[in-house]
Amino acid sequence: MRKLIAAIGSALLATAGGVVAAAPADAQYPTKPIRVIAAFPPGGGVDIVARAVSERIAARLGQSLVVDNRPGAGTTIGTELAVKSAPDGYTLLVGPIGAALIAQIYYRKSFDMRRDLAPISKIGYGTIVLVVSPSLGVSTVKELIALAKSKPGQLTFASSGTGSNIHLTGEMFKQRAGIDIVHVPYKGSALMLPDLIEGRVSMALDSMPAHLPHIKTGRLRALAVPSIQRSAQLPDVPTMIEAGMTGFQSNTDYALYAPANTPKEIITRLNRETIAVLEQPDLKARLAALGIEVSGGTPEALRVEVVAEFDKWSKVLKEGNIRQE
């Protein structure tokens, strides 16, 4: 009997040991604060999104998520820092998809987002809008293209800087429409507004929030949004596709990444928690007020989007012969 009891005891201990050994790696993760790199300065869209989402994820993980702003060189400083960090789940990156890929190509960086970052989840996207001064005398995209074709090299388009997502969106419009328009770079949306409103620059394809008040007052005219669907803030403004620009799509966006080779269990855990916070109504409302619509998604879906965006913007840069100055 004693031998039988001992045998049963040994079997139970072995089973218990097996349970402990088979416990998923994310059961202990995280055991210390997590750094979240934001590749833009404090106060901007990426910073606001990073802080809002990190705060909610921290509450679910039981550890602090500390936002570390590392701006510069078109997001490449922050992105490169994330790429070179240990793949242990304690360094994450919040950044744009399109803008970061453009910067990677434009600044000829050695890292490759498709290879060197592990996608966690899309967070959301913001709307870009095609705006013109009413003094230009056009009310539709078709009329704008016709005017540009009648005055080759005379119309201009503003951007928030050479090599930016906004610049490349304008270049894509130029290429797809088959028009000759001149790029005028500014150091941000606020600086282009006076010239745009007064008609000293013809148009801009720019992030919507800065332009929305002027669209509402009639000082600027919105012709289209290059989104999949119309903007809730501008429901009467067509998409570029509706306006006749087949396949024309661009937006500001936000996504969450970890360094490549981060354990799959940690990526799965972070994706699960990110999706959970993005479903919180008050967070959705907070971001919607900034013109940001949450989207979420799987790591696999984000990886597919990264590859597609790389291909799209590589083509725009090549066809526009856009190089680092």
Return the CATH number at 270: 3.40.190.150
How high is the pLDDT of residue 18? 40
Instruction: Report yes or no on 169 lying in a domain.
Output: yes
> Residue 160 belongs to what domain range?
128-224
**Total domains present in the chain:** 2
Same domain? For 115 and 150 the reply is no
Same domain? For 195 and 269 the reply is no
Secondary structure, 3-state, 25-51: HHHCCCCCCEEEEECCCCCCHHHHHHH
Element (H, E) at 284: helix 281-288
- More confident position, 36 or 321: 36
What lies within 8 Å, CB to CB, of 104 at 6+ separation is 76, 79, 111, 112, 113
Same domain? For 56 and 134 the reply is no
The answer on pLDDT for 138 being more than 80 is yes
Same domain? For 71 and 99 the reply is yes
Q: Distance from first CA to last CA of the chain, Å, rounded?
A: 86
Instruction: Report yes or no on 280 lying in a domain.
Output: yes
Specify the CATH number for the domain of residue 186. Answer: 3.40.190.10
Distance CA 130, CA 46 (A): 22
Instruction: Report yes or no on 95 lying in a domain.
Output: yes
Same domain? For 220 and 83 the reply is no
| pLDDT classification of 275: cutoffs 50, 70, 90 | very high
- The pLDDT > 70 percentage for the chain reads 91
Distance CA 149, CA 138 (A): 13
Same domain? For 87 and 158 the reply is no
- In tens, the pLDDT along 189-221 reads 888 999 999 999 999 999 887 898 899 999 999
Instruction: Report yes or no on 230 lying in a domain.
Output: no
Distance CA 214, CA 69 (A): 30
Element (H, E) at 15: helix 2-22
The DSSP code for 239 is B
Token duo for residue 270 = 């972070």
Instruction: Report yes or no on 229 lying in a domain.
Output: no
| pLDDT classification of 324: cutoffs 50, 70, 90 | confident
Same domain? For 268 and 315 the reply is yes
Instruction: Report yes or no on 67 lying in a domain.
Output: yes
Q: Which of 224, 239, 271 represents a domain boundary (last residue)?
A: 224
- More confident position, 6 or 186: 186
The answer on pLDDT for 312 being more than 60 is yes
Instruction: Report yes or no on 231 lying in a domain.
Output: no
Same domain? For 115 and 157 the reply is no
